[in-house]
Amino acid sequence: GAVVSQHPSRVICKSGTSVKIECRSLDFQATTMFWYRQFPKQSLMLMATSNEGSKATYEQGVEKDKFLINHASLTLSTLTVTSAHPEDSSFYICSASQGAGGQETQYFGPGTRLLVL
């Protein structure tokens, strides 16, 4: 149980294009999903918290107009990198939260590697 998928697993795009990444909880409903970015050999950096049916909460320093997050259902959140540039190249990982009342556990997707040329 508690499986989270991401699509695509890898994407290469030209500078200036937009890229959409999907995150799905396959066998549970997730009111809250999270989006992270990971640079090589570093820990995860939380970008935003995505709540179903409401606006995402972005961490300080993350451009909300550049990284658009939509959480349309209890099993799907999407991250769109708008007008991507080479500096946006990174490994993007989502997670979905299961549980409640202080017993939440985050389950992570396999990640999406984005390369912007």
CB atoms under 10 Å from CB of 89, counted, come to: 16
Considering only CA atoms, give the Rg of the chain. 14
Cα–Cα distance between 111 and 74 in angstroms, integer?
19
- Residue 4 or 19: the one with the smaller Cβ distance to another protein is 4
Nearest to 28 by CA among 54, 8, 52, 53: 52
Minimum Å gap between C-beta 82 and another protein is: 23
Candidate segments 11-19, 61-69, 77-85, 103-111, binder of another protein by CB under 8 A: 103-111
Minimum Å gap between C-beta 67 and another protein is: 17
- Residue 44 or 74: the one with the smaller Cβ distance to another protein is 44
